[in-house]
Amino acid sequence: MNGNYHHRAPEYQEEMVEIDVQRAPNSPFMNHSEDQMLPRSVPPYRPGHSPSLNDEFGSNTWPLPGNESFIHTPVDSRSATPSLYPSNHQFQSHQSLAALVDTPPSPVLAKDWVQPGSIAQLYDRDDAEIWKGWRRWLFRFVPVFTFANTALYLFYLGLRIYCVIMAQKYSGYIYAGAWVFIAIEIAVAIPSQMHNCWTMLALKKRNRPKLRLTGDDVPTVDVFITCCGEEDEVVLDTVRGAIWQDYPRDRFRVIVLDDAKSPTLEASVNQLARIHTNVFYMAREKIPGKPHHFKAGNLNYGLDAVHELPGGAGKFMAALDADMIPEPEWLRAVLPHLLVDPRMALACPPQLFYNTPSSDPLAQSLDFFVHVIEPIKDAMGVAWCTGSGYVVRREALDEIGNFPLGSLAEDVATSTLMLGKGWHTAYVHEPLQFGTVPEDYGGHLKQRTRWAIGTVDTAVKLKFCLWGDAVRQMSAAQRFSGFLYATLSLYTLLLTASLFAIPIILLWGKQLVAYATTEELRWLIWACFATTISNRLCEFALFSPAGYHTGQRGSRYQLWMSPYIALCIVRSFILPRWLGGQAQAFKPTGSLGSALNERDPKHRRNMAVRMWVIMVNYMATFHLLFVYVTLAAVVVSSYRCFAQNSGFRDIIMCLITHAFWPPLTFLFICTSLWTPIAYAVDPPNMPDREDLLDRDPKTGVAHPTRQSKKIAFGGQAAWFELEYTTATVATILVFVYSFFF
């Protein structure tokens, strides 16, 4: 290994062995004295210089929902000007870089396959090393399991409706409670069945190889690091990780785009710039009262500003969030996917995290999305930009007018507009960047509601990807994907309404499952049993790439987060200002006196303060009331069964058809909605961020330790697994008992 990595921990050296094989021995920025990495000389610049720009982006926004026009960032924002440092080629990145792909990738995994100026193929699949064995074999059956589960559920639902109709004909009585229960099941089933339809498309095999760009004849890249008020050390760790890429120094620049204009961060970046001449600090002027468009505006500022730097703009642009530390092979791993396809506009790796607490109680890891959903979407040609770590072709950005403004989800909007123009996008399923999840409950809510509202807002402006000039060249699969993932957030309205109905119908005391004869009840139980077991098998197979417990956390997350997302949707898109409508983001009520520091065992606020803030300021009172009212309703319903029936068989039949219809759905809902309260009472403990990093004492470069990259299995995960097992066992027992009616 090269000298600059000798000071890594043993486990990190082991991780980097494969990358060592592919490095060209004459890399222009490596100092083989093993003391330091020396950059090649580049034209001098003034550290900290932020060029003044004449172009302003604040006045150009997307239209509000309902407007007919679709306004982009100005096309003449100079992304069309010459962009290679050493050359003057315009818009021909795929032609001028053709020499890089003249030599076909070699499938031989040995040192002799490294050829300067070529792209090497390490494996047939980019995720060959992170996901293998029995899980990959099992995942092949996901379409079969999903199809069977969908068919069984539709049969079960049709049988439920048929039995209610027959029961009403037989008794002449309207089973209102049964109809309400069916309506709740349908409301919950709509998004899940839509998702099942998409999941069945996993039948299409994904063929994205694991590639590496070798040699020194590589394209130029401008790496943007966007920040706005984050801690200096967090940003600087990302900057150092970007600087120490296994990439020629004269072929990439690291540009910190600081929207907070932090004097201390500027001084620290300028200090790095004195050693590394490819590092720049920039901060745009934000005029009070004039829209600055947050991250999209900051990125567009950087796209324009790099033309003022020596050599002009790079052929490609890459972006990192302030807390996302890239792995040393990041650029060499992502860029080949753009070079082998001249119509590839954007390639992005997953967002992974190194400070996720054990059991991940708030489902912050995104593992199910990045390890299951995104690969399926990539196979269908509809990979989304994940917001960090992506590399984009400047030509494609120019065609859509740079990053679209006026959206809280500029990453989704950007990739969607590129697909609408006929460009391709790629998802590189490799662990190439690691960042941090929000360390407090309020930060998590704001992040997730912003994502959800931004996705819906973008979908409204793009007409849900169904028609219009912006999506004209999209395929049917791309349109369906855009429509599906936009509407899933809207279905939280139905899900939240159904949550309100559950305790009401239980307190109502009406029969939830109606039938005319014992034979009909037996068939209902059999269909319910088959649906439940097939659903468990489907979940186990579908969740296998990310881990079974990861998928289950996601299922619970959808339930307890739905009231927050639904409230934001109502406030953002339905209510007028005078009735409580507000900006498109979650806003806590009241005043937060100080941070809870809930994950710091030394400085966390006491339980009374935590409970007050989460229950009142963050409105978890709804969750608490729902759980207690629902459990009280179950007790009342059960008491009625014992009071109104005398025989064992009658009592059991009453319990089954009222509160305890398998698979004990109320239990899963209550434990899921208990999440905020359990978090307030017993938040997870996390060590200091520095303890999660392995830092090189000479260079200061830090990368997450092997252990911090994984989510530990904790007591909460064990508790929920016990709950799932109990519900499954109860379903089996009811199924067995049905033979003895």
pLDDT at 99: 52
Strands 693-695 and 702-704 turn out to be antiparallel
Sheet holding 433-435, edge to edge: 325-326, 433-435, 352-353
Query: Using one digit for the tens of pLDDT, what is the confidence trace for 292-348?
Result: 888 999 999 999 999 999 989 999 999 999 999 999 999 999 999 999 999 999 999
How many other C-beta atoms are found inside a 10 Å radius of the C-beta of residue 273?
Answer: 22
pLDDT at 85 > cutoff 50: no
Query: Using one digit for the tens of pLDDT, what is the confidence trace for 103-150?
Result: 554 443 344 444 556 899 999 999 988 888 888 888 888 888 888 988
pLDDT at 115: 54
Q: Cβ(107)–Cβ(328) under 8 Å?
A: no
What stretch of H or E contains 225?
Answer: strand 221-227
Separation between Cα atoms, residue 364 and residue 360, nearest integer Å:
6
How is residue 616 annotated by DSSP? I
Structure tokens at 613: 């803030």
Structure tokens at 246: 């296994």
Outline which parts of the chain fall under CATH 3.90.550.10.
78-100+220-466
- Residue 413 or 580, more confident: 413
Which residue pairs, CB below 8 angstroms and at least 24 apart, start in 639-645?
Answer: 640/509
Structure tokens at 241: 């990780």
Task: Find the mean pLDDT for residues 589-612.
Answer: 79
How is residue 468 annotated by DSSP? S
- Residue 410 or 625, more confident: 625
Alpha helices in 421-547 (DSSP H): 441-461, 476-490, 492-508, 518-542
pLDDT at 74 > cutoff 60: no
Nearest to 407 by CA among 397, 399, 415: 415
Structure tokens at 329: 């092979």
- Residue 68 or 453, more confident: 453
pLDDT at 372 > cutoff 80: yes
Among 88-102, 196-210, 667-681, the range with the most confident prediction by mean pLDDT is 667-681
Separation between Cα atoms, residue 313 and residue 149, nearest integer Å:
52
CA dihedral over 314, 319, 323, 324, signed as positive or negative: negative
Position of tokens 């403990």? 685
Task: Find the mean pLDDT for residues 87-97.
Answer: 40
Nearest to 508 by CA among 380, 633, 666, 360: 633
Collapsed DSSP state (helix, strand, coil) of residue 240: helix
Among 44-53, 202-211, 544-553, 631-640, the range with the most confident prediction by mean pLDDT is 631-640
pLDDT at 23: 31
Position of tokens 């679209």? 404
Residue 253's Cβ-count burial label (10 Å; 0-12, 13-18, 19+) is: buried
Q: Cβ(569)–Cβ(490) under 8 Å?
A: yes
* DSSP bridge partners of 344: 424
pLDDT at 379 > cutoff 60: yes
Query: Using one digit for the tens of pLDDT, what is the confidence trace for 576-598?
Result: 776 666 665 555 544 443 578 89
Nearest to 270 by CA among 239, 291, 246, 295: 239
pLDDT at 13: 33
Query: Using one digit for the tens of pLDDT, what is the confidence trace for 343-365?
Result: 999 999 999 999 999 999 999 99
Query: Using one digit for the tens of pLDDT, what is the confidence trace for 695-718?
Result: 999 999 999 999 999 988 888 888
Q: Cβ(313)–Cβ(223) under 8 Å?
A: no
Length of the chain: 741
* Homologous superfamily assigned to 78-100+220-466: Spore Coat Polysaccharide Biosynthesis Protein SpsA; Chain A (3.90.550.10)
DSSP string, 309-370: STT---SEEEEEETT-EEPTTHHHHHHHHHHS-TTEEEEEPPPEES-PPTT-TT--S-HHII
Please give the single-letter amino acid code of residue 137.
W
pLDDT at 162 > cutoff 80: yes
Side-chain-side CA neighbours of 437 within 13 Å: the count stands at 26
What stretch of H or E contains 195?
Answer: helix 176-199
Q: CB neighbours of 139 closer than 8 A, spacing ≥ 6?
A: 202, 541, 542, 544, 545
Q: Cβ(37)–Cβ(31) under 8 Å?
A: yes
Q: CB neighbours of 392 closer than 8 A, spacing ≥ 6?
A: 316, 317, 318, 319, 345, 346, 385, 414
The torsion of the CA quartet 360, 362, 364, 365, rounded to 10 degrees, works out to 30
Residue 694's Cβ-count burial label (10 Å; 0-12, 13-18, 19+) is: middle
Has this prediction a pTM greater than 0.85?
no
DSSP string, 12-39: HHHHTHHHHHHS-TT-TT--TTSS---P
pLDDT at 186: 82
Query: Using one digit for the tens of pLDDT, what is the confidence trace for 446-500?
Result: 889 888 888 888 888 888 888 888 888 888 778 888 787 777 788 888 888 888 8
pLDDT at 410: 83
Residue 594's Cβ-count burial label (10 Å; 0-12, 13-18, 19+) is: exposed
pLDDT at 98: 47
Collapsed DSSP state (helix, strand, coil) of residue 163: helix
Query: Using one digit for the tens of pLDDT, what is the confidence trace for 3-14?
Result: 333 333 333 333
DSSP string, 650-710: HHHHHHHHTT--TTTHHHHHHHHHTHHHHHHHSPPP---GGGGEEE-TTT--EEE-TGGGS
pLDDT at 731 > cutoff 90: yes
What stretch of H or E contains 223?
Answer: strand 221-227
Q: Which residues of 428-462 are buried (b: 16+ CB within 10 A; e: fewer)?
A: bbbbbbbbbbebbbbebbbebbbbbbbbbbbbbbb
> Which of 32-36, 128-132, 525-529, 595-599 is predicted with the least confidence, judged by mean pLDDT?
32-36
Mean residue pLDDT across the chain: 81
What stretch of H or E contains 11?
Answer: helix 10-15
Sheet holding 424-427, edge to edge: 279-282, 252-258, 221-227, 316-321, 391-393, 344-348, 424-427
* DSSP bridge partners of 282: 257
